[in-house]
Structure 1
């Protein structure tokens, strides 16, 4: 495991950082392409000149356009069950249950919600000219296939759940405490200003239709103008770009840390080799005048009793062993005073 330049934890961090960086960059490029395509798309208003614009292009279909108009139903509009004066062409009813869940780690109750019921109703509708001319209309196809439904909240009510003593006791035992139900209604109202971005096709009967692009490019239906859609997409693209950059910096930090550790180990290894060579040279000079048949000298190593003392242990300063015995120490502590050894230098005896 010591031969690996990265620890297992660093390998996991590096792999996940690179994977997330690649994923976030892919999402950034995907959104950036959509932004570029919307910028290059023709910006049209619903009016009588749309058929002539299509005829001038020599095709009955424009691959990607941004068109603005006023929402009008083809036949009967949807009526809100809570506000009879409100009429729309898309209606979404959502019933959510809110409850508190006991978090044993944080020692507190956290809010949680789940969708109990969701219903979406639509009727055929068109984008009409603000002037109200019947000839200036564009039929909107497959509105549920849009990236986001262009609806706004028109009704919201929260019904709180009542609890008895037995209910409260069971809630604390189970760790779940219901709060109530949130009922909301969202609608695309008749007369709203809507921007559609997609494929504009001219049918044989002369009617214009806005539909999802055949190449799979994003199909957008949003309240407001196309510049608001562009600003939202730019914000999302920038978010994924910065997320990719941060993950890339995290991976670079892991690699830099591993390189610094490898350089430090290499430097320490070189110092140890130089130190060992220095002690070997000192040992050869000292052994040249030593007679091994005699009794051990007074300055012999206290461990092996054969070699001369040739190490100065710092910071305590004791001179008590040879370099080979120092290398064999199980713990880097002085054998005399048991203090930690920071470094060792050779002893030159004149």
Structure 2
């Protein structure tokens, strides 16, 4: 672990344990609430996924017609659709248009591999390195507050309209149009190109390294495609639009286009719900315990402080004759600046704190420090137990 990472860990640990761990308890409570909310949404998606029928493309029309008839509607009436799981093969929509355009289908061609596809995603990532240089403290600050500068990524996505057809059937009379509008679900893309190219240094790069700035060292190019003929599963709301079956993503389901089957998705979601439930219970229990400990600890400190204040008001601190004589002598005697009390700046330093051992206060100021709720040394801020009167020999 580098010195920068150690500084970050030390800062975060001090922040988390402040107020007797109350900050850590609040953070764990927030994580527990997030886990419970995520568990609720995931379990709801799991129930919907289990009830959703898994059908072939050719069975969609009968499934949707039966659902429409059960609700007393017909195909011409607009419907909200039905959640279904469809397994099919990717094909360009232009292939079933039935015109001369089908002879030259509207598809995308991979620039690197030459494969035909309906989705092409190109990603270019610039990888940066950093040397502290002669002014390395600036890079330390950026490491703590701007670690995302180490990579800069640009992504371009091209798509064409595509459909899912039933594999092995020709002519393809039954199909479902895939509507990707508004979908943010991950796509089952296949990587066809992956290359890391080094960046040649320039005089400006030398200046960047000299002053502790980040400089590019490599350029990573990636190309992923959704090829024609790939078997995928579509999970979403299916309905008829102008007599054509169309499926679009459902925001409540974490899947849209995937290579997994229904059983695999159910197993994956069931495992996620178990993990979220256990993590929510564990984090909630820890947060309750830590917050309870911090609350009791601070409550006891407040009661102790209140009791000491009441005692101090009822019985003001009295100083015996010998101490009053000492104080009077100290007040009338010239005291060098290096031996003045750091609190009152009028009397000589006479009391040493335990366990730190600092001799920085007079006897009266040391007593007032001891009676605080959390007595701490005014120099090192370490918590003290008591003070000892120091006498000159």
TM-score by length of 1: 0.65
In 1, the alpha carbon distance for the partners of 2:297 and 2:208 equals 56
Determine which structure has more spread, i.e. the larger CA radius of gyration: 1
**1:96-245 equivalences in 2 (<5 Å):** 96-102=125-131, 104=140, 112-116=150-154, 118-133=155-170, 134-142=172-180, 145-164=183-202, 167-205=205-243, 207-213=244-250, 216-218=251-253, 220-245=256-281
User: 2:57 aligned with 1:28, yes or no?
Assistant: no
Residue 229 of structure 1 and its aligned partner are, at CA, apart by 3.1
More helix by share: 2
Change (3 A) 1:251 1:204: same
1:131–1:105 CA distance, 2 compared to 1 (3 A): same
Give distance in 1, aligned partners of 2:298 and 2:159.
Answer: 65
CA drift of 1:226 comes to: 2.6
Stretches of structure 2 that go unaligned for 5 or more consecutive residues are 1-16, 95-104, 132-138, 305-319, 323-367, 372-384
8 Å Cα contact 1:222-1:229 kept in structure 2: no
Deviation at 1:38, TM superposition (A): 0.7
Match of 1:249 among 278, 285, 298: 285
**Structure 2 residue aligned with 1:64, among 63, 66, 83?**
83
CA distance in 2, matches of 1:113, 1:256: 42
Mapped to 2, the partners of 1:334 and 1:203 lie a distance apart of: 89
Q: Per-residue deviation at 1:164?
A: 4.8
Contact 2:22 2:291 in 1 (8 A): no
Report deviation, 1:169. Answer: 4.6
Cα deviation per residue 1:257-279 (whole Å; 9 max; x = unaligned)? 2477589889x9xxxxxxxxxxx
TM-score for the superposition, normalised by structure 2? 0.58
Deviation at 1:121, TM superposition (A): 0.9
Matched with 2:92 is 73
2:343 paired residue number: none
- Aligned pair count reads 273
1:118-161 deviation line (CA, Å, top 9, x unaligned): 21111111111112231221111126615112212111121110
Give the gaps of 5 or more residues in structure 1: 1-5, 269-302, 306-327, 336-350
Q: Distance in 2 between matches of 1:256 and 1:146?
A: 41
Higher strand share: 1
